[in-house]
Structure 1
Amino acid sequence: MKTSLVRDIGILIARLVLGVIFLAHGLQKLTVWGYDGTKAGFEGMGVPAPAISAFVATWVETLGGIALILGVLVPIFGVLLFLVMAGAFFIVHVDNGIYVSDGGFELVAALGAGALLLAAVGAGAFSVDRFLAPKVPFLQNA
């Protein structure tokens, strides 16, 4: 199970699944709730600097989701997505227990851990990063 092909397929599947989830959440903030609705929601949850936080979360999730799907700059977007999920964990979800149905942290923890893992292991062979790696040193493990 340690073959390069199996590893790269596993990374691809993880990138696609996490990327679609992040993209869907970012687009929900952008198109369903809109900026004002997202900002109001963040205010209601006690998120600091809700105007800035709503903007950052929306665009990191949207662009980060696209980046994971394509495998572009995965170490950078993996860390950014992890940081957004860490903020959601500590600011909104940690006091609600584990279950997402209770407003808990299971989803943000899983998404954050997955994004951080991708940041650490890189995008794998089936990615744009593979072609960028010879020119960009921090992508050379992708």
Structure 2
Amino acid sequence: MRPRPLYDVVAVLARLGVGLVFMAHGWQKIEAGITATGRSFDDLGVPLPTAAAVYAAFAELLGGAALIAGLALPVTGLLLFADMAGAFVFVHAGEGLFMVDGATVENGYELVLVLGLASLLFAAGAGGRLTLDQWIVTKRLRRSDDDEDDAASFVKSLRQAETQNETQADPQTEAKPRRKHRARRSAKNQPPAEPAEPAGPPALAEGSEDDLLVAGPRKAGRRQRARGARPAETAPDDADKDDSA
């Protein structure tokens, strides 16, 4: 497994080398002139030679600079790959692999092949982390985090303001707990109440002794009457017994 910092440094060196080659070829076309480059493309059989010359010159010059800086690598890599694909198909495909074979110039496709595949590799995400794209992305993420923090603090301040307004609008909400607290304190500070003495027997009302005296003889007379009435009630039974005997 490769260490990440080393990979980032190697990716920067690769972008620097490939980007310099592209910038050199683009500057060469611009220095020769777009019209002259278009005529040479026409001689090589490239369709739309003037438009192809403009595209090739500016794509190689500006794309090489963007490749070195690491700016918009997916788009930059695809544009440079399309440039090299057109050069391979219309110019170098039938000339063999080597650009120079011995003392003769073959104008082969080895250079456009390497440059095109390297551009495609950078477009696929092999540019590393030391790029402007990575810096812009991290900056946006930090800004979004800061925005979220600001929004959260703003909402918190609004809630605090609402609670303050509610307490100011209804001061009795604060007074009620204070009153209850004071009542509890006063109840705690009061000494315990003394136990009440047990009540004595209820006093007799006036005339109660007379009532008791009167009630006594009455109950006694009733008892005597009851005792005298029992034999009288049983007498007929005895008489019946004698008759039956």
| Deviation of the 1:127 alpha carbon | 1.3
Residue in 2 aligned with 1:114?
A: 118
State the partner residue of 1:104. 108
Residues 7-50 of structure 1, C-alpha deviations (whole Å, 9 max, x = no match):
1111101100000000010000011x111111111111110000
Rounded to whole Å, the distance in 2 between the matches of 1:72 and 1:48 is 30
Whole-Å separation in 2 of the counterparts to 1:50 and 1:56: 10
Q: Percent identity?
A: 40
Task: Give the whole-Å Cα distance in 2 for the aligned partners of 1:72 and 1:107.
Answer: 23
Q: Structure 2 CA distance, aligned partners of 1:106 and 1:132?
A: 35
Does the CA-based 8 Å contact 1:74-1:122 persist in structure 2? no
Cα distance in 1 for residues equivalent to 2:137 and 2:87: 31
Bigger-Rg structure (1/2): 2
Partner in structure 1 of residue 184 of structure 2: none
CA shift, 1:122, in A, is: 4.3
Per-residue displacement from partner, 1:34-91 (whole Å, max 9, x unpaired)?
A: 1111111111111000011000011110110010111111111101100110110011
Matched, 1:66 2:65: yes
Tell me the SS of whatever aligns to 1:123: coil
Q: Map of 1:123-142 to 2, 5 A cutoff?
A: 123-134=127-138, 135=140
Q: TM-score, normalised by structure 2?
A: 0.53
Q: Output the amino acid matched with 1:95.
A: G
User: Stretches of 4+ moved more than 3 A in 1?
Assistant: none
For the Cα contact (< 8 Å) 1:72–1:123, is it kept in 2?
no
Q: In the TM superposition, what are the counterparts of 1:73-92 in structure 2 within 5 Å? A: 73-92=72-91
Whether the aligned pair in 2 keeps the contact of 1:123 and 1:129 (CA below 8 Å) is no
Tell me the amino acid that sits aligned with residue 113 of structure 1.
Answer: L
| Structure 1 counterpart SS, 2:130 | coil
Quick check: 1:98–1:105 contact (8 Å CA) kept in 2? Answer: yes
State the partner residue of 1:50.
Answer: 49
Alpha-carbon distance in 1 for matches of 2:90, 2:137: 36
Within 1, Cα distance between the matches of 2:81 and 2:72?
14
Task: Report the number of matched residues.
Answer: 135
| Structure 2 residue runs without a partner (length 5+) | 101-105, 142-245
Work out which structure has the larger RCO, using CA pairs closer than 8 Å and 6 or more positions apart in sequence: 1
- The 2-side partners of 1:76 and 1:123 are apart by 12
Provide the residue aligned with 1:140 in structure 2.
Answer: none
